[in-house]
Structure 1
Amino acid sequence: MRILIATDAWRPQVNGVVRSLEAMASAASALGASIDFLTPQDFSSIPMPTYPEIQLAFASAGAVAKRLAQGYDHVHIATEGPVGMATRACCLRQGRRFTTSYHTRFPEYIHARTRFPVGVTYALLRRFHNSGAGTMVSTQTLAQELSARGFRRLMRWSRGVDHQLFHPDKAVDLGYPRPLYLYAGRLAVEKNIEAFLALDLPGTKLVAGDGPARAALEAAYPHARFLGVKTSAELATLYASSDVFVFPSRTDTFGMVLLEAMACGLPVAAFPVAGPLDVVGASGAGVLSEDLQAACLAATEIPADAPRAHALTFTWEASAQQFLGNVALAHQNGVEAAAQAAAGKACSAKQPKLFVQGEMIEP
């Protein structure tokens, strides 16, 4: 099967969406699928104001149609940006079946920056995603939240982690006073990083990553160590060499860094919200609490083998199998819907439906 994934998130961005798409595609190739990407690199583009790592593409449905003419069996739209919107428009125009995925809580992110009403953004996203044959979401909690907001045909698509790259044996002496509390990810207002940096903790706070909030955070918290953008190999060393991974975000849909940290034997401290609840949960690999400081201190008592063992349950092969199963299900349901329409049977779309590993579940 040849699949084209349209995504606005792509290199040089370093984030969970890019890493998960690349890793899943690699695993899918071993299962006999061929996955290509349609990205901002395929169009003229400009850097996003205030965030130049993100490229805004001048994509058009006509340009997308030329790419689709190369003979793809399925189209998956990973993001709701210019590339995703142009691909959606082209698929609707051609009557081509496609799936989407919901990676980012844009309504909350936009609201945090502009105070724009969350409900309006959700209405726009609901229209975008409900026009497809299915929307893939990373966790059960997110599926339930989106279902309550009127999103239909939701499908579970979890993530994996490279257990060889992210491994406890990558530990070195970083030379900072211990214990070491590490945050890794984008430095932006929606990540709630100040909830971590403002804590009164012993040892050293480490911050890996970059973003529009970095300068302000460095100025406000001079005692934290800001390490900048790191490669995956460098991140593996940081994870394995630290004592607790602190994840202060309340808006992430999954949190790839959670899996990477745990694979390196690093316990997690986080709020009990979507993302950590699904990825860490009651596994014993971390501490989830509304008192983030208490969670950080308690997590130092967790032995490295607990988070490592939990991370081993997430694989990219399983993620790829789930993705391909969702694609097959989307096409199967399309054939059945067409047969029903031909027979004059009405297909009710009044209630949102949730697909989990090939099984439809009414919310």
Structure 2
Amino acid sequence: MPQPKTVLIVTDAWHPQINGVVRSIELVIKEMEKRGIAVKLLTPNEFKTFPMPGYGEIRLSRTLMKPVYARIEAAAPDAIHIATEGPLGIMARRWCRKHRFAFSTAYHTQFPEYLRARLPVPLRWSYRFLRWFHGAAKYCLVGTPHLKTLLEQRGFTNAVIWQKGVDTELFNPARREPLAYDGPVFLYVGRVAVEKNIEAFVSLDLPGTKLVVGGGPSLEKLKAEYPDVVFVGPRQGEELARLFASADVFVFPSKTDTFGLVLLEALASGTPVAAFPVTGPIDVIGDAPVGVLDHDLKAAALKALDVSREGCRAYAEQFSWAASTDQFLQYLPVKGDTRSP
């Protein structure tokens, strides 16, 4: 399999956004650069932007084909990965099709379900768009076997597994320390938005403290409606890792995530997980004794208090970004690559 010398990653999700897409790209870039691969980025930061309707924290590029094409050609890549289905992703897809340049994409977000949570848009319309977008790629990278099966049932024919990793140095049980809240502490980390189903967590009658880390369009509304919940806003780096390690249970209420990188970050920190038995938790947790999956989220959260923290850490150590990058490169078409998908 040919090794790329220069990789261009096109993404509509980038700093200052804080989410799993951005973190995944950053960590794969770090691994590729260790291997001597030059990585270039095409992001909204290079253009004028406008706020995504209904989600002002996300800025979308406002540009035309010509400037995007010029940047792609200036990068002179021998491999292209399109990470998102936004304006830049669509324009990069068009450039690749025009020049018969094979590329890979990634399905990071269950976009149809996210959209339906906000607007009455039929799933079949959204999936038709996604089949069009990803169907042009040689490979569409997805986070879990369960999601791969679901997409294949929706007509996808090029889905392959790209398992994510976790930074076990940053997310570490050694960072555990007492928090200034009544225990036990039940933690949520992620966007505070309707598609994350966060109200299923903050509305639970649980002992101790419900702690929410993150920002988003639903933050002020939920702060007003749930004064008993501690909302601390976004946190990053060592401060975030300390909160992961210091919580007693990590609660993941989302039913629309494709993977849930935060699940691995919690486990690497020694913190057991409580979640619904849906895409993401099913593949990351499954039957492993590191969390509790239950349609009753309160029952799952309470049962998770008894899960071994040492077992959580040991389980997370199986997931490395080096192995994740191996998979990413395996499915990254390179000039001269004649493999069939």
Name the TM tier (shorter chain): over 0.9
- Aligned pair in 2 of structure 1 residues 72, 250: CA closer, same or farther (>3 Å)? same
Residue 90 of structure 1 deviates from its aligned partner by 1.1
Q: Where do 5+ consecutive residues of structure 2 fail to align? A: none
Partner of 1:90, secondary structure, is helix
Q: 2:39 aligns with which of 16, 35, 42?
A: 35
| Alignment-derived partner of residue 28 in structure 2 | 24
Please say if residues 182 and 245 of structure 1, whose CA atoms lie closer than 8 Å, have aligned partners that are also in contact.
yes
Helix, strand or coil at the partner of 1:222: coil
2:241 paired with 1:240: no
- 1:224 is matched by which residue type in structure 2? V
Q: Secondary structure at the match of 2:183?
A: coil
In terms of mean alpha carbon deviation, does 25-34 or 298-307 score higher? 25-34
- RMSD over aligned CA atoms reads 1.4
State the partner residue of 2:264.
259
**Residues 1:178 and 1:331: Cα distance change in structure 2 (over 3 Å):** farther
1:199 partnered with 2:223: no
1:143 & 1:272 partners in 2: Cα distance? 16
Specify the SS of the correspondent of 1:47. strand
Q: Which runs of 4+ in 1 moved over 6 A?
A: none
* Amino acid across the alignment from 1:22: E
Q: After alignment, is 48-57 or 152-161 more displaced?
A: 48-57
The answer (yes or no) to whether the contact 1:28–1:321 under 8 Å persists in 2 is no
Higher relative contact order (CA 8 A, sep 6+): 2
Matching residue's letter, 1:128: F
**Cα distance in 1, alignment partners of residues 191 and 335 from structure 2:** 33
Task: Note closer, same or farther for the CA distance 1:336–1:320 as it changes in structure 2 (3 Å cut).
Answer: closer
Which amino acid counterpart does residue 67 of structure 1 have in structure 2? R
Deviation at 1:46, TM superposition (A): 2.0
State the distance in 1 between where 2:239 and 2:279 align: 27
Alignment of 1:105-120 (within 5 A): 105-120=110-125
CA contact (8 A) 1:126 1:150 kept: yes
2-structure distance, mates of 1:228, 1:37: 28
Q: After TM superposition, give the deviation of residue 328 of structure 1 in Å.
A: 4.6
TM-score normalised per structure 2: 0.95
Match of 1:165 in 2: 170
Structure 2 residue aligned with 1:136: 141
The residue type equivalent to 1:119 in the other structure is R
Letter in 2 for 1:51: Y
Q: Contact conserved, 2:55 with 2:217, CA < 8 A, in 1?
A: yes
Taking a change above 3 Å as real, the CA distance of residues 136 and 65 of structure 1, as seen in their structure-2 partners, is same
Q: Summarize the Cα distance change of 1:215–1:327 in structure 2 as closer, same or farther, 3 Å threshold.
A: same
For residues 295-337 of structure 1, the C-alpha deviation after alignment (integer angstroms, 9 at most, x for no partner) is 11110001211111111011111111110011158964xx356
Query: Unaligned 5+ residue runs, structure 1?
Result: 338-354, 356-363
Residue in structure 2 matched with residue 11 of structure 1 by the alignment: 15
Alpha-carbon displacement from aligned partner over 1:251-288 (angstroms, at most 9, x marks no partner):
00000110111110000000011100111111211011
Q: How much has 1:229 moved relative to structure 2? A: 0.6
Structure 1 position 45, deviation (Å): 1.3
Spell out the pairing of 1:77-96 with structure 2 (5 A cutoff): 77-96=82-101
Higher Cα radius of gyration = 1
How far residue 53 of structure 1 moved from its aligned partner, in angstroms, is 2.2
In 2, Cα distance between equivalents of 1:235 and 1:181: 14
CA contact (8 A) 1:7 1:38 kept: yes
